[in-house]
């Protein structure tokens, strides 16, 4: 039996938390032979609701769940954590852009970054889900300067999953036939799902779906606006699909990527493709099971170049908005 891994989750009593925790505790995050200890972090007013979540986790009798630590103390919450999933933050309402949340949510990530640096295990890796996730991740990372910069991630996997499904529906194929589709840039309405490198059944997506107008007028806006469409329909932002994408992201990071595929996650840019170093920017990524690398040498056409710069400009603007938190 392996030693349990401590997984810290903030916002544990929220909607995403409700879908996410059972999946972690049942072995879907780190594998069917990896015991876990859940460190559930909430703010004081949500501790009562968290008690209920803890009771439900206990009532699942998950064989891999070796402990639950519910807390509103960040030091206790991140103690010994090897993974931190930063979900806790306020979701947007209809009519808002995600960056409108920076004023409310940004400061949450300063104290969390500090507490991660001070308390987490030496192999800590952090995935930020709470919006605007790229810039919140930037804030946390900058408040934990001793944690290597390649251990910080912002979630764009949900956008990738959305994009893959839209291509599959249009082409009339199974979603597993769609590969190599990466989200570039910010998890926001400027994100760029770069369909030029995507494949469908092993062929270039643009040879299978040949209508250029469909990509520009339907595909890109649908992916960019999917979060808003869900808020409009449900009155609440996506939760089950967001939790699913968090599970997928960690799996993508810790398992080697298939030769014919890539995945999307926001990482600390080192200037790849001319992007400002230090921004948390989503790229096409491959994992060897240990380390991630940006897929280099892709041919970026004029249209893509404009899109990847547009989303970079928004991230630079968000960085300026939070300069006092960095
Ligand atoms: N990156 C992505 O693809 C996605 C990101 N999101 C974002 O995830 C975040 C959470 O969404 P939901 O679970 O639906 O929201 P929710 O409102 O249902 O739950 C958020 C939870 O976070 C807690 N919280 C607030 N401040 C906290 C703090 N300082 N420390 C710890 N916990 C704190 C709240 O008490 C609440 O229980 C939102 O910012 C949302 O916009 C949502 C979907 C997808
Ligand atoms: O749209 C939102 O505010 C929630 C979110 O990030 C998403 O569903 O992609």
Q: Indicate if ligand 2 lies below 6 Å from the C-beta of 237.
A: yes
3-state secondary structure of 40: strand
pLDDT at 213: 98
In DSSP terms, which residues pair with 267 in a beta bridge? 281
Q: Which of 8, 16, 106, 265 to mutate to test the pocket of ligand 1 (most atoms within 8 A of CB)?
A: 16
pLDDT at 1: 85
pLDDT at 66: 98
Q: Which two tokens stand for residue 167?
A: 């291509």
Label each residue of 99-128 as H, E or C.
Answer: HHHHHHHCCHHHHHHHHHHHHCCCCCEEEE
pLDDT at 150: 98
Q: What is the pLDDT of residues 56-107, one digit of tens each?
A: 999 999 999 999 999 999 999 999 999 999 999 999 989 999 999 999 999 9
pLDDT per residue of the chain (326 residues) written in tens, 0 to 9 = 899 999 999 999 999 999 999 999 999 999 999 999 999 999 999 999 999 999 999 999 999 999 999 999 999 999 999 999 999 999 998 999 999 999 999 999 999 999 999 999 999 999 999 999 999 999 999 999 999 999 999 999 999 999 999 999 999 999 999 999 999 999 999 999 999 999 999 999 999 999 999 999 999 999 999 999 999 999 999 999 999 999 999 999 999 999 999 999 999 999 999 999 999 999 999 999 999 999 999 999 999 999 999 999 999 999 999 999 99
Q: Which of 110, 161, 103 has the alpha carbon at shortest distance from 137?
A: 110
Ligand 1, atom 37: closest residue by C-alpha: 14
Backbone CA torsion sign across 131, 234, 23, 161: negative
Ligand 1, atom 38: closest residue by C-alpha: 91
Q: Which of 8, 88, 140 to mutate to test the pocket of ligand 1 (most atoms within 8 A of CB)?
A: 88
87 known ligand binder: no
Ligand 2, atom 2: closest residue by C-alpha: 227
| The ligand 1 atom nearest the CA atom of 159 | 3
Q: Which of 239, 255, 256 has the alpha carbon at shortest distance from 22?
A: 239
Return phi, psi of residue 31, to 5°: 115, 155
pLDDT at 39: 98
Check: pTM over 0.95? Answer yes or no: yes
Q: Which residues are catalytic?
A: 187
- Here the ipTM equals 0.99
77 known ligand binder: no
Which H or E element spans position 7? Answer: strand 5-10
Q: How does the average pLDDT of the chain come out, rounded? A: 97
pLDDT at 214: 98
What does the alpha-carbon distance between residue 236 and residue 167 come to, in Å, rounded to a whole number? Answer: 25
What does the alpha-carbon distance between residue 272 and residue 297 come to, in Å, rounded to a whole number? Answer: 10
């Amino acid at each position: 039996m392996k030693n349990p891994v401590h997984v810290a989750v903030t916002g544990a009593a929220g909607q995403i938390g409700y879908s996410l925790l059972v999946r972690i505790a049942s072995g879907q995050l780190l594998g069917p032979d990896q015991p876990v200890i859940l460190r559930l972090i909430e703010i004081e007013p949500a501790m009562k609701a968290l008690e209920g979540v803890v009771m439900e986790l206990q009532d699942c009798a998950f064989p891999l769940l070796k402990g639950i630590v519910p807390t509103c103390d960040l030091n206790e919450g991140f103690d010994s954590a090897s993974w931190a999933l930063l979900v806790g933050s306020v979701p947007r309402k209809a009519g808002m852009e995600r960056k409108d949340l920076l004023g409310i949510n940004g400061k949450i990530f300063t104290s969390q970054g500090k507490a991660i640096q001070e308390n987490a295990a030496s192999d800590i890796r952090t995935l930020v889900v709470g919006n605007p996730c790229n810039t919140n991740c930037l804030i946390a990372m900058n408040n934990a300067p001793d944690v290597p910069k390649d251990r910080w991630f912002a979630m764009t996997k949900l956008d990738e999953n959305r994009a893959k499904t839209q291509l599959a529906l249009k082409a009339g194929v199974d979603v597993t036939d769609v590969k190599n589709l990466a989200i570039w840039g910010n998890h926001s309405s400027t994100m760029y799902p770069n369909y030029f490198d995507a494949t469908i059944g092993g062929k270039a997506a643009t040879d299978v779906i040949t209508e250029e107008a469909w990509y520009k007028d339907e595909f890109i806006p649908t992916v960019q606006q999917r979060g808003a469409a869900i808020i409009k329909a449900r009155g609440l932002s996506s939760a089950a699909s967001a939790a699913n994408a968090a599970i997928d992201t960690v799996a993508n990071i810790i398992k080697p990527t298939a030769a014919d595929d890539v995945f999307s996650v926001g990482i600390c840019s080192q200037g790849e493709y001319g992007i400002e170093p230090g921004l948390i920017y989503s790229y096409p990524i491959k994992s060897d099971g240990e380390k991630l690398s940006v897929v280099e040498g892709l041919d970026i056409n004029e249209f893509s170049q404009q899109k990847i710069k547009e989303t970079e400009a928004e991230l630079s603007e968000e960085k300026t908005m939070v300069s006092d938190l960095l």
